Each structure stands twice: as structure tokens, then as C-alpha cells.
Amino acid sequence: MSWDISKLGLNHKVDQIYFQSPMGFLVEQSVLHGGGKLTPGGSLRVLSGKFTGRAAEDKYVVMSPKTEKTIDWTNNIRKLTSAQFQDLKKDVLSALNEGPRLFAEAANVSAESKYALKVELYTNSAHHALFFQHLMRHDQFAHCPLGLMRIYHAPQLLADKNKYGLRSETVIATDFDANEVLIIGTAYAGEIKKSVFSSMNYILPELGILPMHSGANASEKGDVSVFFGLSGTGKTTLSTQEGRALIGDDEHGLSHEGIFNFEGGCYAKMIRLSQANEPDIYKASTRFGSLLENVVLDRQSHPNFDDDSIGENTRSSYPLSYIDHTLPGSKGKIPTTMFFLSADAFGVLPPAAKLNTNQVMYYFLSGYTAKLAGTEVGIQDPKAAFSTCFGAPFMVRHPGDYAKLLGEYVEKYKIEVWLINTGWTGGKYGVGKRFPLKTTRRLIDAVQNGELKNTKFHTDDIFGLAIPESVNGVDSKVLSPKNTWSDGDAYLQTAKQLAGMFHKNFEKFKNLNESVLKGAPIHH
């Protein structure tokens, strides 16, 4: 396929222009010219340089009469004028034109044709073109009703921060009116994916569609489960579930007709990946064409998924077709269950708790998980992380817009929502241990299979959460956090400390409906 790109200001100096390149060719180009290395299994390892994660402080949106009112500017989003954006775009086009090679790719986002967006990528980097192919969809829809979005990708260019009044030489800028994205000064591939996700999150709420930072899968009967969660909480791992078909691992939309995946691939976290615990992801990540980002290789070029010397955020991207059990068409019914995943390093949240309506809204707006303060030997204090809607950096509208939609869907379709702690038990990080994946999977299976419909629940004293008293295959002791701590006073102090953090974080939502506030922890 070929198209005329000269009207975009491209191809003036580029010697070679490649349109919709075959996967093998992009792998070859990355090895020859992009520093890529092939593993014995055929996966392509690349390094992203300075940035091994998102440049969260360098996200910009063009201010316009529309975006001024609809963007949540308090959400770490910087403002650009249209003139600044156009001047930066000229710099990007010059950089792309001066490169020896230009890769042009076109695809779509959204498995649902009614809510599809066409996306084009222009880059000098072969492996970023491959990443785009993996993560976007190739449905060949006759028409994409949401329009066309273009991404101009110049990872080697450093923006002139003084000339344009920027925070740094790195820029991820979106003009929602023109549907254009500039990515400058970072080679982290996730910026491409998240720019597209942010655009869908901006467009869809106006159509009554809930965009979700979540994984999703379906049973043989078609019952759908959704897994909300921040990075490191187990979203990809738990949605890739034995006996169920994967719809997608990270980005979905929910309409009154059902759920649909935005993406055509997965972007899985690799650190400490185990073939025994995650066989599907391991298999997909170690075959020809999969793209390993910042994964350490041993002397024989085999990937070492336990080595975090380059960074903790090692990644693999691959098409959905690399997973054996996926739902054809990447669309499903209205979900019957939703799981809010939190990796609680304080060790005080229960491994499973059923949420009432107020708690659903409260915990969705809180978007809680906990990060570890450091990786040095010895006990470290965990750090609470609150990310609204379990994906604040990508939810560019006001949080209430998304929460309102979630509430309407949950209430109308009687969706059961559970809080799942994939973090620590028996004490906080450094004292307790992380919940075994086997335990978390058993709890989720029990919810999905309807095993807990008639079980007895008790209410947690601190958080007011409904905790099942027994689950087949799980030691009843671990269901209530306070029973797993050897020091009861330490548990009480830590639980109240975390509850207080919830309350403090939620002060910014104090003007919301009073009923939502009833979902807060009881004591702090």
C-alpha cells in the first residue's frame, strides 16, 4: 500500500520511504540500523535509552476554546498554543525528512466499527513502526467514524526548550482539534500507545462510551470480566486467564451494546516473568516478531526477565494473535464482573472484597495502589499511589466524567464489582509476603463462577469492606488482613494510616455527591 505524503510536508530528503512494511523487514531494519538484537527465539530486543517509562512531566495539549473547558488541566497537563505546536511540528518534519529512512504506517483503533479511529504513524525508527503494527488494529473498516489521527514521531530530536518555553527537550504534545500528536526526545514506545489511548479517552465520553484502563476476558458462555488496575497490579497477567478467552490486556470501551478492545496487541510488563506462572505471555514474548524493550540479555542473547539493571519497567509487545486463547473480533457482552486491582504494599487491604455502589465510585475515583519506595536491601516504607480511574495520566477529561459513566453502567446492568489486593499479606512490604498468584487466581475464579453468591460476609472494621468468610481452596485466615499480622497493634496503626491517606487524597472530590463519600474508609 502507498499514499501521497508530500502534502504533509514529508519526504523531501529521505532516501528510502517504506509504507506498511512487513514485520520481518522491520525486524531486519531494526537490527541493521536501529541497534536491535535478535534472541535465539527470534524476539527483537531494543533499548529506549534515557527514558524507560513515560515522560509524565512533559505532556502537552493545545489550548483551544473547546479543550480549555473539557481538559482537566490540573492532571499534570501542560498548555501549548496552536502556534507553538505548529512550530514544533515543523521541527519534527525536518527531523523526519533528514533521516535516511522513513516508515509510514496506517491502522485503526477500536474493534467496534461505530467507534473506530484511523491512526497514521510517521517515524524514522523501524522498531517503533513494528510496535505500532503490534498495538494498533488492522480491521480494514470501510470508514472510521471518529476520523483520522496522525502521530509524528521523532525520538532522536531534542526540542529547543528555550525557544518554545518548554520544561525540557522532551515533548509529547496533542492537538485534539487537529487530531495530531508530536512525540519528541523519547524512544519509549509506550508513548505512542498512550497518546492514542488518551485521544480515545477524550473522544468517547461525549458519545456516552466509557473508556477503561483495563484488561478483559470472557468465559465459554460469553460472560465478561473487566480488570482495572495501574501498572504492576496484575492487569495483563490476570486477564490472560486459563479457561477464558482474552479480549485485551489494557484498553477497552464499554457501550450499551457491550465491550470492545481498542488495541490489536499487548504491551506486557516483563520483570520477573515466569514461564510457569504466565505461560501464555512467556510464549508470546519469546517468538519471532515480539518486541522486547529494555530486557537484559545474557551472553548467549537469551532474555533474563529477572534482571532489572536497565529498569523495572521492562516490556514486551506482540499482536493478540500470539495469544492462543483470544475472543474473535475482540468484542464481548456487557461485563458481569469488574475487578479493581490494587497491589497494596501496606498489607492491610483484603485479598478480595465485594464493593457496594458507593464504594465502587469511591475506589474508582481513588485508583489506589502502592509502590515500593526503593529496591535496596532492607525494609522500605511503601508509598501510596492514587491515580484516578486507575489511569489518571491518560484520562484527560475531568474525573467526574468517567465516574458518572461507570456508575450508570454498573447500576443499569447490575455489574458486580470487587476490590482485589494483589499486594502484601501478613505485614507490609519487608515484613509480610506478596499474595501468591495462585491465591489471587482462585479468588477471581470463585467470583466468576458464582461460588460466593451464598457465602457469608463480614465487614472490615477500618475500611468498611465486605469480606467473604470462606472461599474453597483459600486459607480462611488470609481473607482478613488483621488475622495475618503477628502484631495486632502494628496492623491497626498501618490500616488507619492508609485509611487516612485515602481520605486526604479524596479531599479534591469533596464537592461530589455525598453518597460517594459514604464509600470511604470508616476509621482513620
Catalytic sites, residue numbers = 54, 194, 213, 231, 235-236, 250, 315
- 219: its cell numbers: 468465559
DSSP string, 83-111: HHHHHHHHHHHHHHHHSSEEEEEEEEE-S
Question: Phi then psi for 165, rounded to 5 degrees?
Answer: 65, 40
Residue whose C-alpha cell reads 461530589 in the numeric block: 512
Instruction: For residues 335 and 406, give the distance between their C-alpha atoms in angstroms, rounded to a whole number.
Output: 12
DSSP string, 12-39: SS-SEEEES--HHHHHHHHHHHS--EE-
**CB of 345 closer than 8 Å to CB of 382:** yes
> Mutual orientation of helices 126-135 and 23-33 as an angle, nearest 10°?
150
- 199: its cell numbers: 485521544
Instruction: For residues 208 and 230, give the distance between their C-alpha atoms in angstroms, rounded to a whole number.
Output: 24
The DSSP output letter for 220 is T
Instruction: For residues 221 and 217, give the distance between their C-alpha atoms in angstroms, rounded to a whole number.
Output: 11
SS3 helix, strand, coil % of the chain, rounded to 5? 30, 25, 45
Among left, alpha and beta (phi > 0; psi -120 to 50; other), residue 499 is: alpha
Instruction: For residues 435 and 262, give the distance between their C-alpha atoms in angstroms, rounded to a whole number.
Output: 30
**CB of 206 closer than 8 Å to CB of 148:** no
Instruction: For residues 139 and 388, give the distance between their C-alpha atoms in angstroms, rounded to a whole number.
Output: 31
